[in-house]
Amino acid sequence: MKLKVVALGLLVSFSSIADEGMWQPHQLPELEAVLKSKGLAIDAASIANLTAFPMNAVISLGGCTASFVSPQGLAVTNHHCAFNSIAHNSTPENNILKNGFLAKTFEQEVPAAPGSKMWLTENVSNVTRQIQQELTPQLRGKARFDAIEQIRKQIVAECEATPGYRCEVYSFHGGLEYYLMKQLEIRDVRLVHAPALSVGNFGGDIDNWMWPRHTGDYSFFRAYVGKDGKPAEYNVENVPFVPPSYLKVSAKGVQENDFVMVIGYPGRTNRYELAPEVANKFAVRLPREKTYRQETIALIEKYAPEGSDSRLKYESILAGLANYAKNFDGMIAGYQQGDLQQRKDNFYAEMQRWIKAEPARKVKYQPVFKEMELIIKADIAKQERDIVLGYFANAQLFRTARRLYRLSVEQQKPDEERERGFQIRDEDRQKSALKRMSRSYEPSVDLEIALHFLEKYHALPSEQKIAAFDQYFGLGEQFDAAAVREKLSAIYANTKLNDEVERLAWLGKTPEDFKNSQDPAIQFAVAMFADDMQEESAEKERLGKLTQVLPKVMDAIIQYNKSLGKPVYADANSTLRVTYGTVQGYQPRDGVFHTPFTTIAGLKAKITSAEPFDAPKVQQDAIAKADFAGYLQPQLQTLPVNFLSNVDTTGGNSGSPTLNGNAELVGLLFDGVIEGLLGDVDYDTKLNRSIHVDSRYMLWQMEKVDGAANLVKEMTVVR
């Protein structure tokens, strides 16, 4: 579930599928004619304005999206986006995760999980020229990468000089453009309301990515600021934040074929990947990753058995592993059954023909693609090693030790010279991660993950091995599992990093302290450091090369598309985007059509006494009363629960407001259908469907089931 919303799209004619695209707000005026014809009632220009309604009602939660729905900072998002905060406030005595939570007054609102923040984008500025002007063609590889990093950090530092803001430079089109985002950072976030787990997560993993769906995936936070109206740390004296605008909530909702628009922070897409990258991804990389994920799941299930305390710690990790194992599976199946590769191959071949067709283009672009192909080839050659080391990093002990040591090394430098992620501005996040580990780490389980992937590592070609790694774990010619297990057992038994206080105590220590430590995990970090740095250096060299090649590749792709009259939007990169479309069903397979609404009758039919279908009794009673007046879907004459649309979304869009043509909230985006999973690399008009909670279901549930009249009253409900 988390961050799992899906989006799709190859480059196709504008008129035929105008609903593809995660548009940057500044692009919207260009699309006005289309938007108007589809049903947008407000000005397209108003959506382009970040400091006006409705854009400034939408906020990032980091990995999720939310939106303000009252003048007192009330914000609605998905239940799964609030999950950690609900769980954080849940106790065996007061199990609000299971039973739901409702603050009837501001005083009853509780702090969200540590580290919870809200970011409101206030300004976006194009800094491409500022970065490009520093880059001579002679600046290559790592040097180029470092130069870019330095300018980015400098721009960010200048921007963050204003207190209460977080700034970030984002690269678009592989570095063809850079934008600086300036976001107000709200640090006091409180939980206001969540339905019972069996409403907010009804259907659980079984229904994840699935249609028909009946999930009440909504929850409410409130933003608090200091009495001066400025962002502040949690304090009982803080006051509700007054957002620059907020969304009205529609009780009328939408019908089939209605216009909808989604504003949010989609995380990542790869719509412009080249044919050989796509072939490798679906035929080699994802199948391998799926296997490693499933193996990790099996290990955790074995060593943290159902019902054990360890299992509790790993539930969330397991859910994440399973979520993407299912995701990968869906993508692989979609790739095998569809014609994605064929179309990617055709596109690539046709673009190459277009390039060769004109001498100037040939000179400009042909060497670029040659170079790009070499980079892709080199990446594929070391891919298995990268995957294995990536899954080894699921062993949290070694990952944490490395991070602690790195932090210490970086802290010796002036802040502006430190690596991104290890600056002063990142220290809070580092600390939160060290604390969070206590809730999701069990040495005996961690050991098994390490052991499993050490064996995979050992099977790599010898030229890909890392000497320090082999030496530290005593890996010889043959893999001696018993000996390695013994070695690991000693490490996990003797390290102090299993303890939260001990972990935190390493913050602020010097590299010398690390070098002198007898802690075996710390010794690992120290032993690996030179190799880790060399790896990083090589990676920067590669990335630096990419910063020269990729913008040219993207430029060619954009020019080629322009020559075909096709519009181009940038891949998702966690920045604010707008997507639009209509409420509509789809044909998941021959002989079957998924209709665009589910209803309360369908929810009722799914209810059992067992998780995740154990709807609370109070909801069952309310369903039996059948008082849906005011919330009916007119075509169906009953209460709708979830609906489908063809908006173009992906992970990070979770919690995004779904708006009608008047920018009223008609739903919350929370998932995509499994048949559209290839959306990451390919928007398929026929299969790309997002799943939304219907605002009518949310309002009915709040009013008739959870008695959240205070919140319904606080919001402006359009009836």
Q: How far is the CB of 408 from a copy of itself (least distance, A)?
A: 54
Q: Does the footprint of a copy of itself cover residue 211 (CB under 8 A)? A: yes
Q: How far is the CB of 212 from a copy of itself (least distance, A)?
A: 3
Residue in 88, 166, 187, 213 binding a copy of itself, rule: CB under 8 A: 213
Binding range to a copy of itself, per CB under 8 A, among 208-216, 288-296, 368-376, 444-452: 208-216
Q: Does the footprint of a copy of itself cover residue 538 (CB under 8 A)? A: no
Q: How far is the CB of 630 from a copy of itself (least distance, A)?
A: 21
85 carries an active-site annotation: no
Task: Between 204 and 602, name the residue whose CB sits nearer to a copy of itself.
Answer: 602
Task: Between 339 and 358, name the residue whose CB sits nearer to a copy of itself.
Answer: 339
Report the C-alpha gap between 114 and 276 in whole angstroms. Answer: 43
Contacts with 692 (C-beta within 8 Å, 6 or more apart), sequence order? 260, 642, 643, 644, 645, 658, 666, 667, 668, 669, 670
Residue in 54, 212, 216, 266 binding a copy of itself, rule: CB under 8 A: 212
Report the C-alpha gap between 670 and 689 in whole angstroms. Answer: 11
Task: Answer for the pair 361, 555: CB distance below 8 angstroms, yes or no.
Answer: no
Q: Does the footprint of a copy of itself cover residue 463 (CB under 8 A)? A: no
- Token couple for 184: 């107000």
Q: Could you tell me which of 187, 171, 24, 3 has the C-alpha nearest to residue 81? A: 3
**How many residues are present in the chain?**
719
Q: C-alpha angle 589/595/601, rounded to 5°?
A: 125
Q: Does the footprint of a copy of itself cover residue 577 (CB under 8 A)? A: no
Task: Between 211 and 328, name the residue whose CB sits nearer to a copy of itself.
Answer: 211
- Token couple for 393: 């990093």
80 carries an active-site annotation: yes
CA dihedral (642, 327, 438, 410) positive or negative: negative
* Helix (H) or strand (E) segment spanning residue 468: helix 467-473
State residue 429 phi and psi, 5-degree precision: -65, -40
Q: How far is the CB of 60 from a copy of itself (least distance, A)?
A: 31
Q: How far is the CB of 547 from a copy of itself (least distance, A)?
A: 42
Q: Does the footprint of a copy of itself cover residue 206 (CB under 8 A)? A: no
Q: Which of residues 380-419 bind a copy of itself (CB under 8 A)?
A: none
Task: Between 182 and 214, name the residue whose CB sits nearer to a copy of itself.
Answer: 214
- Token couple for 678: 């290839």
Task: Between 481 and 605, name the residue whose CB sits nearer to a copy of itself.
Answer: 605
The residue type of 166 is R
Binding range to a copy of itself, per CB under 8 A, among 207-215, 406-414, 438-446, 506-514: 207-215
**Active-site residue, selected from the candidate residues 19, 188, 217, 446:** 217
Q: Are strands 640-645 and 690-694 parallel, antiparallel or unpaired?
A: antiparallel
Q: CA end-to-end span of the chain, whole Å? A: 31
Binding range to a copy of itself, per CB under 8 A, among 315-323, 347-355, 508-516, 584-592: 584-592
70 carries an active-site annotation: no
Output the CA–CA distances (angstroms, integers) from residue 349 to 265, 356, 427, 684, in the order listed: 33, 11, 48, 20
- Rg over alpha carbons for the chain, rounded to the nearest Å, is 26
The residue type of 223 is A
Task: Between 599 and 660, name the residue whose CB sits nearer to a copy of itself.
Answer: 599
Q: Which of residues 698-717 bind a copy of itself (CB under 8 A)?
A: none
**Active-site residue, selected from the candidate residues 70, 408, 654, 656:** 654
Q: Which of residues 302-341 bind a copy of itself (CB under 8 A)?
A: 337
Per-residue binder mask for a copy of itself (CB under 8 A), 642-681, x = binder: x---------------------------------------
Task: Between 476 and 593, name the residue whose CB sits nearer to a copy of itself.
Answer: 593
SS3 of 601-659: HHHHHHCCCCCCCCCCHHHHHHHHHCCCCCCCECCCCECEEEEEECCCCCCCCCCCEEE
- Token couple for 175: 């570095």
Q: Which of residues 588-617 bind a copy of itself (CB under 8 A)?
A: 589-595, 597-599, 601-603, 605
Report the C-alpha gap between 262 and 579 in whole angstroms. Answer: 5
Q: How far is the CB of 287 from a copy of itself (least distance, A)?
A: 16
For residue 30, the 8-state DSSP code is G
Report the C-alpha gap between 226 and 526 in whole angstroms. Answer: 43
Task: Between 490 and 605, name the residue whose CB sits nearer to a copy of itself.
Answer: 605
Per-residue binder mask for a copy of itself (CB under 8 A), 337-366, x = binder: x-----------------------------
Q: How far is the CB of 302 from a copy of itself (least distance, A)?
A: 27
Task: Between 498 and 598, name the residue whose CB sits nearer to a copy of itself.
Answer: 598
Number of residues this chain uses to bind a copy of itself (CB under 8 A): 21
Task: Answer for the pair 187, 233: CB distance below 8 angstroms, yes or no.
Answer: yes
Report the C-alpha gap between 688 and 159 in whole angstroms. Answer: 38
Rounded to 10 degrees, what is the CA torsion of 631, 636, 639, 645? -90
Q: How far is the CB of 580 from a copy of itself (least distance, A)?
A: 23
Q: Are strands 118-126 and 249-250 parallel, antiparallel or unpaired?
A: unpaired
Residues with a known catalytic role? 80, 217, 654
Q: Which residues bind a copy of itself (CB under 8 A)?
A: 211-214, 337, 587, 589-595, 597-599, 601-603, 605, 642
